[in-house]
Structures are given as structure tokens and as C-alpha cells.
């Protein structure tokens, strides 16, 4: 009777092994597909957080620069304008 139990264990092990070999590819494809989606989503959130942080810091720096140098900006452009000097004829006194 003990040989019969051993034979059943061997046959059952072979059956489970063949089922595992048959379905191994599909399960690994699903696992890798899901992990790829999760990985891309995590990468997107990390990059989005970094980009938003970069934008907030630059907005703050731009606001500080604008408030500190507000009066200097019009003067920069006004200094570079060349005055228009036209030759005017002097009026003769009569």
C-alpha cells in the first residue's frame, strides 16, 4: 500500500509540474506588465513632484527679483535710448 501512496505523490507532483510549466509564461507576463505600469506611474509622480518643486522655487525667486529690482527695470531700457538730434536751422533776425 505504501508504494501506491508514493506512486500517487509522484504522479501528482508531475501533474502539478506540467501545469506550472504550461502556465508559467502567462503569469510572468502579467506580473512584469503590472510591475512595468506601476514603475512608470511611480516615475511619473516622482518627476512631476520634482518639476512642481522646481517651478515653485523659480516663481518665488522671480517674485523676489521683481520686487527688489522693480524700479531698475524701466531705467535699464531708458538709458539705452539715443536722443534724436536733428539739425535745425537758426532763424535769421530781421
CB-based burial, 16-55: b 16+ in 10 Å, e otherwise: eeeeeeeeeeeeeeeeeeeeeeeeeeeeeeeeeeeeeeee
Domain extents in the chain = 2-78
**Which of 58, 59, 61, 57 is CA-nearest to residue 69?**
61
C-alpha span between 55 and 64 (Å, rounded): 14
Asked if residue 88 has pLDDT above 70, the reply is no
Instruction: Report residue 60's pLDDT band, with 50, 70 and 90 as the boundaries.
Output: very high
The conformational region for residue 49 under phi > 0 = left, psi -120 to 50 = alpha, else beta, is alpha
pTM of full prediction above 0.75: no
pLDDT tens-digit readout, 64-86 = 888 887 766 666 665 555 556 66
Higher pLDDT, 61 or 28: 61
Amino acid at each position: 500500500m505504501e508504494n501506491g501512496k508514493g506512486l500517487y505523490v509522484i504522479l501528482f507532483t508531475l501533474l502539478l509540474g506540467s501545469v506550472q510549466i504550461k502556465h508559467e509564461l502567462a503569469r510572468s507576463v502579467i506580473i512584469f506588465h503590472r510591475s512595468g505600469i506601476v514603475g512608470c506611474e511611480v516615475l511619473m509622480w516622482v518627476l512631476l513632484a520634482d518639476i512642481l518643486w522646481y517651478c515653485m522655487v523659480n516663481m518665488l525667486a522671480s517674485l523676489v527679483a521683481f520686487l527688489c529690482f522693480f524700479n531698475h527695470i524701466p531705467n535699464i531700457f531708458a538709458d539705452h535710448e539715443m536722443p534724436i538730434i536733428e539739425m535745425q536751422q537758426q532763424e535769421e533776425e530781421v
